[in-house]
Chain A
Amino acid sequence: MSPHLVLRVVAKMLIPLIALFAFYVQFHGDFGPGGGFQAGVILAAGIILYALVFGIDAAKKAVPPSWIRIGMSFGVLLYGGTGVATWMLGGNFLDYTQFAPESTHAAGQHWGIFAVELGVFCTVTCAMLAIFYAFGSRTPELSDEDW
């Protein structure tokens, strides 16, 4: 029987909900408070909770550190790439109107923000995890009696 049964069960219940809430904050960011940064932190918090309860090795199995570097870079590329795309379409850097110049309800702005926020989300999640893994991997594992 593994220790901390209550913690484990509660964490298992909470983590999917935390992830779901992260996506809610991400995609509802257009209409209410929220956005890529907050959502990224929330999702990372869910994974960090998993690491705290089940151990950092289990977390690294779920979200490998090699993904982290790629994820961080991908987010920035997505953000910057959106700007480059607007350049290609003939506008200024990050001029989202170019995505749908004919639109009367600013659909271009909507799509532009959507892509950029997705980039922020990706980078923030991965950066949070990178910081956590960097510090978490350095300290020796606490034995169960100590906490």
Chain B
Amino acid sequence: MDIVSIFPAWVLTHGPALLVVLPLMMAVLTALAPNKNIAGVNIPWVMTGGTVVVCAILAFSVLMQVLSHGPINYAMGGWEPPIGIAYYIDALNAPILLLITLVAVLCTLYALPSVSAEVEPKKRAPFYAAFLVSFAGLLGMVTTGDAFNVFVFLEVSSISTYVLVAMGASRDRRALTAAYNYLIMGSIGATFLVIGIGFLYMQTGTLNMIDIARILQESGPDSRVVKLAFAFIVVGLGLKLAMFPLHTWLPGAYAYAPSFMTAFLAATATKAALYLLLRFTFTIFDPSWGFVGKSLMYLLAGMGILGMMVASLQAIFQNDLRRVLAFSSVAQVGYMLLGIGMATTLGVTAGYLHMINHAIMKGALFLAVGAFWYRFGITQVSDMRGLGKTMPLTMAAFTIAGLSLIGVPGTVGFVSKLALARAAAENGWWWAIGVIVVTSILAIVYIGRLIEQAYFHEPPNQGGGTLAKNEAPLIMLIPLWILAISALVFGINAEWTTSLARTAADVLSGGPIVNMPYIAGGH
């Protein structure tokens, strides 16, 4: 592939580290930037925007490099792994890096009007700084090849996310309790994860993921410490990715965070945690071991199915617009877990594909909801009356993404649900197909309810006449429509996304990675 040769050699060598260091350094500079506009320019926003764009280009170069040259292993500080911290990128995490950075670019574009409306001006620079820290944390979580470093970056991204959720307080005071709830649950999750990593360290004496995998392969699965480590890690990550009974922090956090943050969180945070679950269960532990295989089948797939059903039902009975979508997110995580729980190449491909596709459609839905609030202060489902007339473009994008969530043919939701159903059929899990169909019908109910309000009701009366048309500003519409159109494009031609998911699944079906690949920039 020739795309790789466009990038300078230095970027190719040091890209993985720069991807994390750049947003972290820029976050610090953004925190020092003035809150007020200078010469009409919103400086913190410009700095954030520049950073995320550069990161997206870097993530693209990294992905292309991985696809054409194989995995990258970057030795931090020149200390070669397993002694030093290594950044390890292969076909499993490179697409997620691109996903996170692209979503960040779109959300940042959208943030200009949205954040000015929702966050107090004096907190503007710290807000963008916290966003960049959380962004850097997510990228770090995904790039790192060191188990303890995962925990560090998980905390970096989580703690800044708690702050960002709490900043929704100037819009709705309930953001504070939501952030507190998220803080408690998230900290419990992180603690479980670090205990699990501690047990792994106790067993293997190393923290490098590949080295852990190698030693575990040599010693075999019969250690109680390894089993304990696995249990703690799955529960810890389950909390972070909102696996069904551990999802209670999610609806509040999504409902009361600033809209920009909700869209970013929904499209990236749970995905990064899901990636870690894949990384730990498939490439560090071995799915062919009894306890890992059984946990995948009964725990992940089981909780996935339960989550799909219960959360979809809960979504139907919510009155707050963002809570409907938040419960739907929990249900969609269930689809991904179902695919992963099958532990076959087809199943994992479907789960991974749904992860990418869900980021596209949920991102679009939350951006549209943020635009509804921006223009009319809408938070409740019943307030959506007549939005088809008052905000036709925004509502159209919302509808496309909503149809995709249901799984209408021609949208991304259909592609991944079909892939999931195929995988279930191949596995002989016919009941799983039934569940997918039933939950899709539930999705018709909860999305249909919103669309019905918007298109089949007249706009409310206000000051004598009906509410006039008041479309969202262009800078909010562009990212929204980019996501809506990509929901259609990747729904009609899913070749690229499916091939990315397939290469990722191939990495996983290869079992634990025990051979250290070449080291970029090494001596």
Question: Which residue on B lies nearest to A81, using beta carbons?
Answer: B25
Counting CB contacts under 8 A, is A83 at the interface? yes
Instruction: Give residues in A with beta carbon < 8 Å to B.
Output: 69-70, 72-73, 76-77, 80-81, 83-84, 87, 91-97
A94 and B24 contacting across the interface, CB-CB below 8 Å: no
A77 touching B28 by the CB < 8 A rule?
yes
**A80-B25, A94-B76, A97-B78 are contacts. A73–B17 as well, Cβ < 8 Å?**
no
A72 cross-chain contacts in B, Cβ below 8 A = 31
Taking CB atoms, residues of chain B closer than 8 Å to A92 are 14, 17, 74-78, 521-522
Query: A73 to B14, Cβ gap below 8 A?
Result: no
C-alpha gap A92/B10 in the complex (Å): 11
CB contacts (< 8 Å) of B28 on chain A: these are 73, 76-77, 80
A96 contacts which chain B residues (CB < 8 A)? 77
Knowing A80-B24, A87-B14, A92-B521, the reply to whether A73 touches B77 (Cβ < 8 A) is no
Known pairs A76-B24, A77-B25, A95-B77; A70 contacts B17 (CB<8 A): no
Which among A73, A77, A81, A97 has the greatest number of chain B C-beta atoms within 10 A?
A: A73
Q: Using an 8 Å CB-CB cutoff, how does the interface string of B9-24 with A read, 1 for contact, 0 for none?
A: 0000010011001001
Instruction: Output the nearest chain B residue to A97 by Cβ-Cβ distance.
Output: B78
Chain B residue with the shortest CB-CB distance to A94: B77
What are 30 A-to-B residue pairs whose CB atoms are below 8 Å? A69-B31, A70-B32, A72-B31, A73-B28, A73-B29, A76-B24, A77-B25, A77-B29, A80-B21, A80-B24, A80-B28, A81-B25, A83-B21, A84-B21, A87-B14, A91-B78, A92-B17, A92-B74, A92-B75, A92-B76, A92-B77, A92-B78, A92-B521, A92-B522, A93-B17, A93-B21, A93-B76, A93-B77, A94-B76, A97-B78
- The interface residues of chain A lying within 8 Å CB-to-CB of B21 are 80, 83-84, 93
- Using known A-B contacts A76-B24, A80-B24, determine if residue A93 contacts B14 with beta carbons closer than 8 Å: yes
In the complex the two chains form, what is the Cα distance from A95 to B522 in whole Å?
10
Within 8-58 of B, Cβ neighbours of A (below 8 Å) are at: 14, 17-18, 21, 24-25, 28-29, 31-32
Interface hub of B14, B25, B32, B77 (most chain A Cβ within 10 A): B77
Q: Chain B: residues with CB nearer than 8 A to chain A?
A: 14, 17-18, 21, 24-25, 28-29, 31-32, 74-78, 521-522
Q: Tally of A-B residue pairs with Cβ under 8 A?
A: 47
> What 9 pairs between A and B have smallest CB-CB spacing?
A95-B78, A94-B77, A93-B17, A73-B28, A76-B28, A92-B78, A80-B25, A92-B521, A73-B32
- Report which residue of B14, B75, B78 has the largest number of chain A beta carbons within 10 angstroms of its beta carbon: B78
Q: State the CA gap A91–B77 with chains docked (Å).
A: 8
B72 smallest CB distance to A (angstroms): 13
Neighbouring B residues of A70 by C-beta, 8 Å: 32
A69, B74: Cβ atoms under 8 Å?
no
For the complex formed, measure the closest distance between the CB of B230 and the CB atoms of chain A, giving whole angstroms: 32
Query: A80 to nearest B CB, angstroms?
Result: 5
- Chain A nearest CB, measured from B268 CB (Å): 23
Question: Besides A92-B75, A92-B521, 6 other CB < 8 A contacts?
Answer: A73-B28, A73-B31, A84-B21, A92-B17, A92-B76, A95-B77
Q: How far is the CA of A93 from the CA of B79 in the complex (A)?
A: 10
Which B residues lie within 8 Å of A73 (CB)?
28-29, 31-32
- Residues of the A chain whose Cβ atoms lie less than 8 Å from the Cβ of B18: 93
Chain B residues near A87 (CB-CB < 8 A)? 14
**Chain A residues closer than 8 Å to B25, beta-carbon distance:** 76-77, 80-81, 84
Nearest CB of chain B from residue A104's CB, rounded to whole Å:
17
How far does the Cβ of A70 sit from chain B's closest Cβ, in whole Å? 7
* Distance of B275 from chain A, by nearest CB (Å): 22
B284 CB, nearest partner CB in chain A, Å = 24
- Which chain A residues border B32 with CB–CB below 8 Å? 69-70, 73
Nearest CB on B from A41, distance (A): 18
Bound Cα distance A77, B21 (Å): 11
Docked complex Cα distance between A97 and B77 (Å): 9
**Distance from B442 Cβ to chain A, minimum over Cβ atoms (Å):** 45
- What is the CA–CA distance of A97 and B75 in the complex, to the nearest angstrom? 14
* A91: B residues at CB distance < 8 A: 78, 521
> Which chain B residues border A95 with CB–CB below 8 Å?
77-78
Cα distance A92–B18 when bound, in Å? 10
For B27, the closest partner residue in chain A by CB is: A76
The smallest beta-carbon distance between B60 and chain A, in angstroms, is: 20
Q: State A92–B77 Cα separation when bound (angstroms).
A: 6
Q: How far is the CA of A143 from the CA of B130 in the complex (A)?
A: 37
Most B Cβ at <10 Å: residue of A69, A77, A93: A93
In Å, the complex CA distance between A83 and B18 comes to: 10
Q: Give Cα A76–Cα B29 distance, bound, in whole angstroms.
A: 10
**Once bound together, how far apart are the Cα atoms of A8 and B142, in whole Å?**
52
Considering the chains assembled together, what is the distance between the CA atoms of A83 and B28 in angstroms? 15
Looking at the assembled complex, report how far the CB atom of B145 sits from the nearest CB atom of chain A, in whole angstroms.
Answer: 14
- Per the bound structure, the CA–CA distance linking A87 and B522 in Å amounts to 13
**Alpha-carbon distance A25/B74, docked complex (angstroms):** 33
| Cα distance A94–B28 in the bound complex, in angstroms | 18
In whole Å, how far is A147's beta carbon from the nearest beta carbon of chain B? 29
| Minimal Cβ-Cβ distance residue in B for A87 | B14
Q: Closest CB-CB distance, B114 to chain A, in whole Å?
A: 25
Residues of B within 8 A of A81 (CB): 25
**Closest CB in chain B relative to A119 CB, distance in Å:** 11
Residue in A closest to B16 when the chains form the complex, CB atoms: A93
CB closest chain-B residue, reference A112: B77
Q: Considering the chains assembled together, what is the distance between the CA atoms of A77 and B129 in angstroms?
A: 14
Give the shortest distance, in Å, between B12 (CB) and chain A (any CB).
Answer: 14
- Nearest to B74 among chain A residues (CB) is A92
Q: What is the CB-to-nearest-CB distance from B10 to chain A, in angstroms, rounded to a whole number? A: 8
Q: In the bound complex, what is the Cα–Cα distance between A80 and B20 (angstroms)? A: 11
Query: Closest approach, in angstroms, between the C-beta of B99 and any C-beta of chain A?
Result: 24
Nearest Cβ in chain B — how far from A22, in angstroms?
23
A141 to B357, CA, bound (A): 54
The complex places the Cα of A73 from the Cα of B129 at a distance, in Å, of: 11
The chain B residue sitting closest to A75, CB to CB, is B28
